[in-house]
Structure 1
Amino acid sequence: MRPRASRAAAGGAAALSPGGRGGRRRVVQGNHRRRPARRRPLPRREERCLHPPDPGRRHRVSRRAAARAGHRRPLRAIVEATLSRAGFKTARDVMRLNEVIAGITGRPEEYGEWLYWLSVFGTPSATEPWGWQIDGHHLIVNCLVLGDQLVLTPMFMGSEPVDIDSGPHAGIRVFRAEEANGLALARALNATQRAKTVLSTELPGEVFATAFRDNLELQPAGIRYDELSRGQQGLFRRLLDTYVGRIRPGHAQVRSDEVTRHLAETRFAWIGGVEEHSVFYYRVHSPVILIEFDHQRGVALDNDAPSRQHVHTVIRTPNGNDYGKDLLRQHYQQVDHTPGRPHVRR
């Protein structure tokens, strides 16, 4: 990618204080009472994975928890406290559509609304690092909290199908803004700009920064923000806001300010068509954020070609701060964590 852009609060970390009164209390205490979760020390490797270590065990444990509504409340509270209203709604709708997949495939042991694993790393604290991870089919969110800082990447959200017209979940539609805003920007480009933006007409089949590709070296590609007209730049910012806006209010503004500082280095790349009903892939890439959107072929559905009924989206923090790794590194350099000693700054 490129050398680290900045330190401390950069790379996806954001102050908790802008979230409003009580914001930190909700994030720190929201999962104390009961958890359908494992709680462990912050791990060295396992949290750096977009797939669970044992999917079968995840499904068995989660199904037992799903049978007791009280065990779902902590899961809801911890995710709801960290995401925005829109981000949380998308996450829950992805889970509900996972129940739809169970009905389509007849495989409730593999798909379902509550077949998700919540892991808590460390002990929720206002001063010490801790984190959580929710993972399951089409929904994987990693969160690190350290004092007044928060990192919420990698974040993977997807769905197949993306909407449903009948049954108990009728009316759900996910990723409408992500799809429409990306297409609007691509269609606003002139021929010269499009030549810089379009990488191919053949979709890649999967996002590039997918599972187990945490150290991906992805070369900058596409058109730069400063090569766009003022109107096109507005469309670009609206697209960025669609993804940054998944984070809780206040944090989203801090994150947006960070992304804005690097707009001149931010690129937009496209693969596929630009017609009203085309399937496509796009990428937004800067020193501090990587966003990917991709239309996929059918898995639960029977289409062999990519369609708009199967979408994957990924948000990552380039240059070392996915999972808050760089933030943690700085913390341990600055604070003495020798066992048996009080944790004091070096």
Structure 2
Amino acid sequence: MTGAGTPGGDGAAREVARRMAEAASAWLDGLDPAQRRVAAGAVPADDGSDAERRRWFYTPTDHGGLTFHEQRPAQQRAAMRLVASGLSTPAYVTVATIIGLENVLDQVEGFVTRFDRERGRDPGLYYLRVFGEPGGSDPWAWRFGGHHVSLSNLVVDGAVVATTPCFLGADPATSPLLGGGVNRPLARVEDAARDLVRSLRPELASRAVLLPRAPSDLVTANRTTLAEGQRVIPLAGIWRDERFPDPVEQEKLQGLSDRIDEAAGYGDTDHAAVEYTTAPKGVAAAELDAEQRELLRVLLGTYLDRVPPEVSPARRYDDEAALDAVHVAWAGSTAPGDPHYYRLQGPRLLVEWDNTQRGANHAHSVWRDPGADFGLDVLARHRTALHRGA
């Protein structure tokens, strides 16, 4: 079983796949031939032919696919219909808000050009691509991404079987609204974790908090696969191309990347303390009291409820033994407004959050399924079954 469901064995996952296929086909059918060449990708597989589908980013780089800028309004509407088919209603609202924050960030930075392009913070630079033929007999998938959004969905044998990696971020993480209101799209994703860690008795807190300082970013970053000992990748390394053609823009990016790393102040020992390991770090939920366990379920829901309920693995954690195996780890201060990082990890689960940059007003969050991201486990079984039937 993947993070979404079992191919051929879940009617609900089939219904979500049907809605996705209908929306994907409608979007592709509304494109002209030139647009479709950009929008279409190779059939998903578990070999090198599928490498592009497994590339993902959360920086404002080229995510691969057709951008909103390259589409007419009716095509954009069809694109958002496909995006919505892979999200719960709260997640869709959150994604739409994150995209809109590009306009806010543009103002924060003074409406300047950045990143070697006409508009550095641009709500039109979100990319959609469909891999394979929607609704066909072969596996197919779709990917949507841009600054602080990355969604990946795979359909095999007519059912949604993978929905990870799933990334949402926010910059600014907190911004003002009229009447003293505050816009915090990922508020519960941050606050529930802090409340949980602050509620721990001292002995548990000493094991849950790995370091008093937070790393500069997600430890596993945008890697396609997870492996023992992975550490933070500097910002300048999380882009589609290694360097900007314009050396001035490249120097600006490298300088920003260096300042972020310097602010974290991490040495080798620090990196080792928070590096990714297959054995979870921190405190197991088996050691939490009943109230803390319910708070952990709420926190898990801010990740697992991003997808439609029919394909969410959230119900897995209704089982006490499954919840017992989830570990909670934190780095940084637990005071609101201070830079911090946390990780939830267990079988078939990795969650990471950081809010460290821009004075701890720039948040990243990702939900992953180690060993099964992008549905590689299901694709391998599918290929084996085809060969046996040949």
Match of 1:49 in 2: 55
Are residue 13 (structure 1) and residue 5 (structure 2) matched? yes
Match of 1:280 in 2: 340
Which of 151, 165, 175 is equivalent to 1:154? 165
Match of 1:3 in 2: none
Match of 1:75 in 2: 79
Q: CA deviation at 1:259?
A: 8.3
Letter paired with 1:269? A
| Deviates further, 265-274 or 44-53 | 44-53
Q: CA deviation at 1:27?
A: 1.2
Asked if structure 1 preserves the Cα contact closer than 8 Å seen for 2:68 and 2:76, the reply is no
Give unmatched runs, 5+ long, in structure 1: 1-8, 299-305, 337-343
Q: Deviations over 1:262-295 (max 9, x none)?
A: 3232100011122344432110001211001101
Q: Deviations over 1:11-35 (max 9, x none)?
A: 4435652369x54431111121234
Alignment of 1:165-180 (within 5 A): 165=176, 172-180=183-191
Asked if structure 1 preserves the Cα contact closer than 8 Å seen for 2:166 and 2:367, the reply is yes
Are residue 84 (structure 1) and residue 84 (structure 2) matched? no
Distance 1:259 1:292, change over 3 A: farther
Which of 66, 69, 76 is equivalent to 1:64? 69
Letter paired with 1:40? G
Letter paired with 1:10? T
How many pairs does the alignment contain? 316
Q: Deviations over 1:23-70 (max 9, x none)?
A: 4431111121234651122342112222399946969x625325x211
Whole-Å Cα distance in 2 between the matches of residues 151 and 82 of structure 1?
11
Whole-Å Cα distance in 2 between the matches of residues 312 and 159 of structure 1?
7
Letter paired with 2:12? P
Sequence identity percentage: 25
Whole-Å Cα distance in 2 between the matches of residues 84 and 292 of structure 1?
20
Match of 2:375 in 1: 324
Letter paired with 1:203? A
Match of 1:233 in 2: 293
Whole-Å Cα distance in 2 between the matches of residues 95 and 216 of structure 1?
31
Which of 28, 35, 50 is equivalent to 2:21? 28
Whole-Å Cα distance in 1 between the matches of residues 326 and 146 of structure 2?
31
Q: Deviations over 1:231-286 (max 9, x none)?
A: 1111111111111111102212x453278563232100011122344432110001
Whole-Å Cα distance in 1 between the matches of residues 386 and 95 of structure 2?
35
Secondary structure at the counterpart of residue 168 of structure 2: strand
Alignment of 1:1-346 (within 5 A): 9-13=1-5, 17-18=11-12, 23-35=16-28, 38-41=39-42, 42=44, 43-51=49-57, 55=61, 62=67, 64-65=69-70, 68-105=72-109, 106=111, 107=113, 109-125=119-135, 127-146=137-156, 147-165=158-176, 172-212=183-223, 214-217=225-228, 218-219=276-277, 220-252=280-312, 254-257=313-316, 260=319, 262-298=322-358, 306-307=359-360, 309-318=361-370, 320-336=371-387, 345=389
Whole-Å Cα distance in 1 between the matches of residues 53 and 311 of structure 2?
22
Secondary structure at the counterpart of residue 32 of structure 1: helix
Whole-Å Cα distance in 2 between the matches of residues 57 and 40 of structure 1?
13
Please give the TM-score of this superposition, normalised by the length of structure 1: 0.82
Q: CA deviation at 1:158?
A: 0.8
Whole-Å Cα distance in 1 between the matches of residues 58 and 188 of structure 2?
29
Letter paired with 1:204? P
Asked if structure 2 preserves the Cα contact closer than 8 Å seen for 1:52 and 1:58, the reply is no
Whole-Å Cα distance in 2 between the matches of residues 139 and 163 of structure 1?
17
Secondary structure at the counterpart of residue 247 of structure 1: coil
